[in-house]
Chains A and B, each alone.
Chain A
């Protein structure tokens, strides 16, 4: 499917013949913008709130200018009061509105944990289904340029723990648009986590409104040797890794998880039963992360299918450092995914095939990380 492929920018999309094939290329941020504009246009119950949604930048372009079209009552700048504003969104949602609350960084969402976990997540269950909270929380993972410990976290696992919320992480423009619409009309609190490094990625996005189902992962590349489950920016890395692996005869299957909650366990099990090998590439930390959950599910449901120990790709267990020298060491990418896939295939591909570069960088290499207690 054409929309499963994303490009680093519009030129690449053009070069690949996207426009020639009659496909419209949009960036991730344009896809978010279009989805939001279409919902604001068609539905009076939808409104956007968040710090800076109406400023010149418009949340890195994703809400830019919407206040001019729809007014500041529906595209509303807010005080810096994240917890109350979350409660305010919940209260509005309880009356049938569909707020989209935007945080420029995921790091600000922990300020809202009381309203999110103690309230929004429970409001449907705790009152026997009498009311619901159709609320979307958009937030963005930052990275690079010394963003450091409080502006670049990947906190999806925190939100995934509590029943009652859904957590989605679109990895390309098509899903960004379709999942945002699904989130707004889901009827539940949906945590919608974007990645700043995906904002300029280009892919095919139909103009007409559409939805992408929440809780359904998708196979981005079919393969038979090893399953690579990735989310958000790591899908992009995993696709590059799969291409490199193909060159050395390893046929990797890449699953874009798209949602952490609900987790598409059937899709994961089907793939692992086929390949017997698993790599999980997450943008966040390892402890209690989605990789742990996925591997636990597989050991419970398909223990016998595993031919090798699964490998997790995560951030090192420390906050994000600021120095460019340390940042470079901090983030895993396609090289680590390649090494991890090779590791699961160690029986077939002996140790000599390990990249010498990875072996030298033992302090950040997969083997070293995997050996940690």
Chain B
């Protein structure tokens, strides 16, 4: 599927930001590729939903966030965590089912958390994280703590009733939240056109008198610009908005492989999107404008590879949870501090 997208007016972006966004995207790509490479060992015994091809959205949006800001993600959420600043080791350890994992081996790849970086738990029920993000924004409004919440969800989640319920509430209460829909055109294997009457998700915002915009989600600078405006609006005036970022996932819905061989999607469509690789196109632009050199890019990749090596080694060397962990943390401990 192809879609004409509105390109943002390109303003001058600082070199340091360009480099950070490139690094962030590459970090996500190499992380996901390593999962795909290691997955056949069958030591990572949990479903993995890879975001290869969609890196620009996480990188561009999170570049605009502060550490204290909240991010609510979904089952395809590794990239959001990494872009928000999560360390790799607790993520890999979680995928390997280890006690040192971010969720102590209780969540797996679909349920990651990083409280320090504002990620308060990830839902794998499509749309499930959307109201939770709005709730965090409500808390920010009540407390006046200046935080912004970004909620990442897919085109499938935009069909869930909870999306409209949540968006209405956010618009009604003018909460500091940005809804970022990563439209990769597929919910598992069902194409958007088979599921949606209008196929224009960003238009939904208008029904709630809020701002909606559709952008090229494979252009990290377009994402950066749109997110900048949306996040600034949210932080200053508590005005929610909806960004629909058009993109494409290269792998199948779940697992390390592409899915065109299985007839899930047309091969030509995938290859068309491979040509629009968000990292390769950005890399060319950076080289062209002299923001980075080839050597610097190679060095960046080497550093990331080492980070991944260390994280994987940590995960593989970590202990599994024991029998005493099975029934722990079902309930939080009593807190009667107020009495």
A-side residues, CB < 8 A to B, are 39, 42-44, 47, 73-74, 78-79, 81, 83-97, 114-115, 118-119, 123-134, 163-164, 166, 181, 185-188, 209-211
Q: Contact between A126 and B332 (Cβ–Cβ < 8 Å)?
A: no
Evaluate contact between A79 and B165: CB separation under 8 angstroms. yes
Whether B333 is near chain A, meaning CB under 8 Å from some CB there, is yes
Nearest chain A residue, comparing its CB with the CB of B118:
A95
The list of the 9 closest CB pairs from A to B, nearest first, reads: A91-B135, A87-B131, A128-B104, A84-B165, A81-B165, A132-B332, A129-B329, A91-B132, A88-B135
Q: Decide: A114 and B138 in contact? CB cutoff 8 A.
A: no
What are 18 inter-chain pairs, A to B, with CB distance below 8 A? A73-B142, A79-B165, A79-B169, A79-B172, A87-B131, A91-B72, A91-B120, A95-B140, A114-B162, A115-B132, A118-B128, A125-B106, A126-B121, A127-B104, A127-B107, A128-B329, A129-B328, A185-B337
| Complexed CA–CA distance, A99 and B135 (Å) | 10
Beyond A73-B142, A91-B135, A126-B111, is A83–B161 a contact (Cβ under 8 Å)? yes
Q: Are A128 and B106 in contact (CB under 8 A)?
A: yes
Nearest-CB distance from A108 to chain B (Å)?
13
In the complex, the answer to whether A185 meets B339 with C-beta atoms within 8 Å is yes
Most chain B CB within a 10 A radius of its CB, from A74, A79, A94:
A94
Interface residues of B (CB under 8 A from A): 70, 72, 101-107, 111, 113, 115, 120-121, 123, 125, 128, 130-143, 161-162, 165-166, 168-169, 172, 328-339
Check B335 against A164 for contact (C-beta < 8 Å).
Answer: no
Interchain CB contact under 8 A, A129 and B332 = yes
State A215–B185 Cα separation when bound (angstroms): 48
Closest to B114 in A: A130
Closest to A49 in B: B138
Asked if residues A47 and B142 are in contact (CB atoms below 8 Å), the reply is yes
- A90, B332: Cβ atoms under 8 Å? no
CB contact between B166 and one of A88, A93, A94, A131 (< 8 Å): that residue: A88
Question: Given A94-B136, A95-B139, does the pair A211, B336 have CB atoms closer than 8 Å?
Answer: yes
Q: Is the CB of B331 within 8 A of A185?
A: no
With A90-B132, A119-B128 in contact, do A124 and B330 touch (Cβ < 8 Å)?
A: yes
Q: Given B105, B328, B331, B339, which contacts A164 in the complex, CB threshold below 8 Å?
A: B331
B128 and A115 contacting across the interface, CB-CB below 8 Å: yes
One of B107, B132, B172, B333 near A126 (C-beta < 8 A):
B107
Give the docked Cα–Cα distance between A129 and B333 (Å). 10
Q: How far is the CA of A94 from the CA of B161 in the complex (A)?
A: 22
Q: Which of B111, B168, B336 contacts A79 (CB 8 A)?
A: B168
Given contacts A78-B169, A131-B121, contact A187 B135 (CB under 8 A): no
Contacts of A124 in B (CB 8 A): 329-332
| A93 partner residues in chain B, CB cutoff 8 A | 135
The smallest C-beta distance from A18 to any residue of chain B, in angstroms, reads 26
Complex Cα–Cα for A161 and B132 (A): 23
Bound-complex Cα distance A280 to B132 (A): 38
Tell me whether B339 and A94 are in contact (CB under 8 A). no
Report Cα–Cα, A39/B336, bound state, in Å: 13
Complex Cα distance A47/B115, Å?
Answer: 23
User: Is A115 a contact partner of B339 (Cβ separation < 8 A)?
Assistant: no
- B residues near A118, Cβ cutoff 8 Å: 123, 125, 128
- The interface residues of chain A lying within 8 Å CB-to-CB of B70 are 95
- B330 near A87 with CB under 8 A, answer no
Interchain CB contact under 8 A, B334 and A42: no
Question: Which residues on B sit within 8 Å (CB–CB) of A185?
Answer: 335-339
Apart from A114-B128, A125-B330, what are 15 other A-B pairs with CB-CB below 8 Å? A47-B142, A83-B165, A84-B169, A85-B131, A87-B128, A87-B132, A88-B166, A91-B120, A94-B121, A97-B139, A127-B103, A133-B332, A185-B336, A187-B331, A187-B333
Of all chain A residues, which has the CB nearest B137? Answer: A91
Q: Say yes or no: B125 contacts A83, CB within 8 Å.
A: no
Max chain A Cβ within 10 angstroms of own Cβ: one of B105, B115, B132, B172? B132
A128 touching B132, Cβ below 8 Å: no
Could you tell me if A188 and B107 are in contact, using CB atoms closer than 8 angstroms? no
Whether A87 and B130, one on each chain, are in contact in the complex, defined by CB atoms closer than 8 angstroms, is yes
Whether B134 pairs with A84 at a CB distance below 8 angstroms is yes
How close is A67's CB to chain B, nearest CB, in angstroms? 14
Name B120's contact: one of A79, A95, A134 (CB within 8 Å): A95
A81 and B332 alpha carbons, distance in the complex (Å): 27
Contact A83 B332, CB 8 Å, known A128-B103, A185-B339: no
Residue pair B162, A83 in contact (C-beta under 8 Å): yes
> Considering only CB atoms, which chain B residue lies closest to A164 in the complex?
B330
CA gap between A91 and B169 in the complex, in Å: 13
Task: Provide the residues of chain A in CB contact with B135, threshold 8 Å.
Answer: 87-95
Most chain A CB neighbours (cut-off 10 Å) among B134, B135, B166, B334: B135
